[in-house]
Structure 1
Amino acid sequence: MAEIVITTMAERPEVTPYLGDFWNVWPRFMLNDLIADALLWRATADFADQCLIATENDELVAHARSIAFAFGDDDRTELPAGGWDQVLQ
């Protein structure tokens, strides 16, 4: 059985063109959100060290995107009034 290898997008930027192959697995609301549609793609470029990919036999099998956002400390105990959209903006 082949091993699944987890790396960051920063370590494997050459797989970026293949991320579009996974749009069909995203929740529908993510595909219909104007802010997410406009900005989420930038996560792999702007936060490549926080976005993960999984490869098996050097083939892309999964990816995860992340955007740094401070939450849960004394200064920020809840999401901003604009929610996810405001975080992305």
Structure 2
Amino acid sequence: MAERRVKVGSSVGLHARPANLFVTAAKEQGVKVQIGTADGERGPVDAASILSVMGLGVQSGEEVVLTSSDDEQGEAAVAALAELLEQDLDAS
């Protein structure tokens, strides 16, 4: 299983605009990706579901875990989404 831990860089966490950008990117990956909090308290949930992602209540600086299939496409998907999450997606 492809797995990546990353700290959320958006100043508002995974809410509203950052969550929408993340979910849109997750849908474009072509493989199923899941996201959950690193402490295991919330998730994992489908990264392509806006309601599920926002329901995690992830805050700025909180560490999350992205998982996908253990193949090149899964590895590429979690890498791309991890890179996205590290950015402040709420900045204009």
**Could you tell me the TM-score, scaled by structure 2's length?**
0.25
Larger radius of gyration: 1
Question: Where is the helix percentage greater, Structure 1 or Structure 2?
Answer: 1
- Of structures 1 and 2, the one with the larger relative CO (CA 8 A, separation 6+) is 2
